[in-house]
Amino acid sequence: MFPLLTGLLILVAWWALYAAGAFPIGTVPHPWEVVLAFRDELASGRLIADTIASLYRVAWGFLGAMVFAVPLGLVVGRSAATRSALLPWINFFRSLSPIAWIPFAIIWFGIGDPPAIFIIFIATFFQITLATAAAAAAVPRIYYRVAEDMELSATAKLFAITLPAILPQLVTAFRVAIGVAWMVVVAAEMIAVRSGLGFLIVDARNGLRMDLVVCGMITIGAIGIGLDLLFSRLARIPSVRWGFDR
Amino acid sequence: MKATMLALEGVGFDYPGLVVIDGLDLTVAEGELLVCVGPSGCGKSTLLSLLGGHAAPTRGTITRNGQSRTIYQDGGLFPWLTVRENIEGGLPRGFAPAERTKKIAEWLEITRLGEFADTYPHQLSGGMRQRCELARALAAETDILLLDEPFSALDYQTRTRMRRELVATLAERPRTVVFVTHDIEEAVQLGDRIVVLGSRPTSVRRVLELPIPRPRQPAAPGVAEAEQAIMDELGLS
């Protein structure tokens, strides 16, 4: 109830300030213009198409990062030699803004989905690797001793001990990473692509359609919250909950 | 003469720059309940790691005739599995599904955890968790059971009750047991034989035989005397 109320308050304040002439002409749209922009964009199908385009890129980039980052993170976390060899470099690339990769992304992959997917991959891969490595390195030794008593094979230890033991931290890492991916896709689409919510915003700005810019911003924020909610649900899975309940 | 299940000959264990155990000789007979008691930091847990094969001795030889399972003070259960799944993980491989279900049900009943079969370890009390550990370790049907201060994290009353339950369970399903503790009362309550260990480097200071039937009352003949003898040996009286 409260969130709706504060939302309403913000809307009223925006409306009132606009009516009072607080914003120079063309700097902030009227709330009603934004509503109309939403109506037009939904009717033309462009908003939905752009949203799907953005989500598609995030999904592939994120999935790709997950598939490669978790195994690499496990190796880095469980092997001291690999850790000392790779960790500084993983940290280096993690600290490098994914946006800095855009020139290479365009030169290597051209224009369209591939460069955007590549940027998402870069933005999440190093983060997930680092989180997986940290979690894998911190699995209590006692679990492996019990596993030795049970005479589990190395493969069984990986799937029956290490993976379930780090799952809660993985869920948290994925949640953080998907948030980053969603922020980065917008930036990538502003430069490397001609569709998606990021492109919608640049395109709207070029046409001085600030109402459309706000429409895009609201959509991006709402979907970001939706993604976060979706991933936070993963923490409720019974075999994951122990990591959050204790 | 009973078979020897565990034998240590001149065993030593070092960490870099630190001799933890030196020149330790010890044998454990089949079906015996051996308690090792000693001050904290005297290398008791290291001794148990060696007996369980989780660490290799720096010097000497260890002979182990049979499989072993270790029960730890706390945190040995897999938190992502329910009580039932944890116990199931302890079962030896090769049972048919129906047989497994039956065995799990049996252990749930023995350890009075039936009601909590689908509960996760973090939702249980400390005593229940240790009962689950006990069930998981005993369900493995190994010859040797190693216990590393299994009741030390529990409150006094729970601890006392758990000791009695351990004694009752072992009477029904005998195992060769090495029980490590710093608690002198616990040692005297449980051990067929009590090995008093000195501080680092660990060595045997004294061995007491206690042919007293269990469960033992604190005032039973021989019990108080044994406690006193251990206190004397550890310089606590």
Among A140, A149, A164, beta carbon nearest to B75? A140
Domain B1-66+144-237's class? alpha beta
CA distances from B74 to A49, A144, A157, B86 (A): 54, 14, 20, 14
- Among the residue ranges A5-14, B171-180, B210-219, the one predicted with the least confidence is B210-219
- A246:B72 CB<8 A: no
Among A145, A149, A246, beta carbon nearest to B122? A246
What's the rounded Cα separation, in Å, for the pair A50 and A55? 9
Nearest-Cα residue of chain B relative to residue A241: B80
Question: How many separate domains does chain A show?
Answer: 1
What's the rounded Cα separation, in Å, for the pair B38 and B186? 12
- B52:A243 CB<8 A: no
pLDDT in tens, A53-71: 999 999 999 999 999 999 9
Q: Which chain A residues contact residue B134 at CB under 8 A?
A: none
How many Cα atoms are found within 13 Å in the side-chain-facing hemisphere of A221?
Answer: 6
Domain of residue A76 covers 32-245
| CA-closest candidate to residue B149, choices B53, B236, B51, B70 | B70
Model confidence band, residue B15 (pLDDT cutoffs 50, 70, 90): confident
In a domain, A197, yes or no: yes
What's the rounded Cα separation, in Å, for the pair A24 and A36? 21
The distance of A167 to chain B (nearest Cα, Å) reads 9
pLDDT in tens, A72-121: 999 999 999 999 999 999 999 999 999 999 999 999 999 889 999 999 99
pLDDT in tens, A165-186: 999 999 999 999 999 999 999 9
The strand pair at B193-197 and B59-64 is best described as unpaired
What's A68's domain CATH number? 1.10.3720.10
Among A146, A167, A241, beta carbon nearest to B76? A146
In a domain, A71, yes or no: yes
Kindly indicate whether the ipTM for this predicted assembly is greater than 0.90, answering yes or no: no
Among B52, B75, B120, beta carbon nearest to A149? B52
Which of A142, A149, A241 is the best residue to mutate to test the B interface, defined by the most B CB atoms within 10 Å of its own CB? Answer: A149
Q: Where are the alpha helices (DSSP H) in A79-112?
A: 80-95, 102-109
Instruction: List the beta bridge partners of residue B177.
Output: B33, B145
- Spell out which chain B residues touch chain A, with contact meaning CB-CB distance below 8 angstroms: 49, 52-54, 67-70, 72, 75-76, 78-81, 89-90, 120-123, 140
The distance of B137 to chain A (nearest Cα, Å) reads 9
- What ranges do the domains of chain B cover? 1-66+144-237, 78-142
- A238:B120 CB<8 A: yes
